[in-house]
Amino acid sequence: IPELMKMLIKEIDEVVDKDWNADKFLSLLRRYVNSLPRWILKGNSPNEVFDRANYLRILPQMAEDADEMNEKSHLSPATPYRDISKIGYNDPCPCGSGKKYKKCCGNN
């Protein structure tokens, strides 16, 4: 592999300007190689495995934070809407007249 790297560096040096350095090239090559899928990683790239490991590492902290936020929540449970019961024809009138609804306000 070192021979391959030397050949690649030589080819790159011929193509690009002289300000290009080997460190920059190796950094780009490393980034490229780490983004390639690998058989040993079950088709995942090293970058994907690293990202997934970071996610799994912070997942318990995220769950703990969610539980803490849930405990601190000051929301009271909503009271269900109570439907006003329908006034029966023989019930007393809600206006307070003392008459039956059918003889008072329900007469309309």
Angle at 34 between CA 29 and CA 37, to 5 degrees: 125
Residue 103 DSSP one-character state: G
Could you give the CA distance from residue 12 to residue 18 in angstroms, rounded to a whole number? Answer: 10
pLDDT tens digits, one per residue of 24-76: 777 777 877 777 777 777 777 877 877 777 666 766 777 777 777 776 666 66
Token match 């405990």: residue? 71
pTM of the model: 0.33
User: Cβ distance 104 to 95 under 8 Å?
Assistant: yes
- Reported confidence tier of residue 1, pLDDT bands at 50, 70, 90: low
